[in-house]
Amino acid sequence: MSDDEVVLLNDETDDGTLKTHPLVKDAAHTFSHRMWRDWKGGLIGALCTLVLGLYMPENLLQTILPLRLEIARFIAPLVCFSIMAMANYTEHVLQPPVSPAGIVSFSGKSVFFTVNVIGLLLVYFAICVAGQTLKMVGYPSETLTYLTYTFFIHAYSLGSMLSVFYYAGVLGDKDEKANIQKWHRRGIPLARYLHNTHSTSILCVNLDLIFKSSALIEQYIPTMDFVVVTLYCYGCCYASWVLFNYSITGYFPYPFMNGMGNWYFPAIFLLIMANIAIIFGIASSVLITAIKGGEMMSVAELLKTMAEKILS
């Protein structure tokens, strides 16, 4: 492979145009134009999987699927893992669609919420695939099953939150549109790449919801307290990382945050987002338990139940 072929997406030629990494051109670009003709495709797909996840009972799944349900429960997370792998790869090779470049001079792209969430989803679906593979070959792992179903609500909450926030807030931001147009003038269909990395998260978590076992959800579902505390801790950790990166670079990851003035306004905004993550977690918990079954107990109720079982 020649030096001209091994260039990152943000490398510039002498005339100011951008060179494209061959893998991006062959993989991400093809994925964009063939599977997602425009952003509507991603949203329509997400809506369809949401409806199926909410209203398709397991006995109907067993009837309409030509494969055994356990095999389908392996294929579904494998597909989701592949989509998240493509999303992570796309984010990896793309230069951040914001300027200046100093934003990522210290923390890299980990300062972006999108990179955080799709990275966590990639790990989550990898655990799902590993757990289901071991189950199919006759060596089920209690630990992997526990991780898969205990943190399913977290994955569902963050995956949904990413898509909703992008399309409800970031997509319409004038600075975001200006940056997208800047890349479009250079021949990079950035809007399509951003749709691929933001619409797929809600698509995948709802596809995962369709094939989740109601019995295992009921067995491993965490307490509401656990969901609230863990999501809030994640939100606070992310907010702290963004603020720490700001103290080093002087920039926030999103243009509208840099226009808020003093640093404490973005700090308040980030803490509000942490609380909104809790709202997504509670809503997801209620939705999943209502559809798939199970009853979430508070920590106090859980301890009381355990004590009664021990003393009985």
Q: DSSP characters for 8-56?
A: -TT-B-TTSPBP--HHIIIIIHHHHHHH-SSHHHHHHHHHHHHHHHHH-
Q: Each residue's pLDDT tens digit in the chain (312 positions)? A: 333 333 334 444 444 444 444 434 443 444 344 334 444 555 555 556 555 555 455 555 555 554 567 777 888 889 899 989 988 888 777 665 455 555 555 667 788 888 899 999 999 999 999 998 888 888 888 889 888 888 988 999 999 888 888 887 776 667 677 777 777 777 777 777 888 888 888 889 988 888 888 788 888 888 888 888 899 999 889 888 888 888 887 777 776 776 666 777 778 888 888 888 888 888 887 777 776 665 555 545 545 654 564 565
How far apart are the C-alpha atoms of 112 and 170, rounded to whole Å? 12
pLDDT of residue 5: 31
Q: Fill in the DSSP letter of residue 283.
A: H
Q: What residues contact residue 290 under an 8 Å CB cut-off, 6+ apart? A: none
Is there a cis peptide before residue 100, judged by omega within 30 degrees of 0?
yes
Tokens, residue 142: 């209690």
Q: Do the beta carbons of residue 193 and residue 90 sit within 8 Å? A: yes
How far apart are the C-alpha atoms of 197 and 109, rounded to whole Å? 14
pTM of the model: 0.70
pLDDT of residue 60: 55
Distances (CA, A) of 113 to 57, 228, 293: 33, 19, 31
* For the chain, domain boundaries: 22-311
Instruction: Report the 3 state secondary structure along 199-261.
Output: HHHHHHHHHHHHHCCHHHHHHHCCCHHHHHHHHHHHHHHHHHHHHHHHHHHCCCCCHHHHCCC
Q: Residue 41 CB: number of other CB atoms within 10 A?
A: 14
Q: What DSSP assignment string belongs to 79-140?
A: HHHHHHHHHHHHHHHSPPSSS-GGGGTTTGGGGSHHHHHHHHHHHHHHHHHHHHHHHHTT--
Closest CA to 179 of 255, 251, 113: 255
How far apart are the C-alpha atoms of 29 and 193, rounded to whole Å? 8
8-30 burial, b at 16+ Cβ within 10 Å, e below that, comes to: ebbeeeeeeebbbbeebeeebbe
241-275 burial, b at 16+ Cβ within 10 Å, e below that, comes to: ebeebbeebebbbbbebbeeeeeeebbebbeebbe
Tokens, residue 272: 């509000």
The residue length of the chain stands at 312
pLDDT of residue 156: 92
pLDDT of residue 129: 92
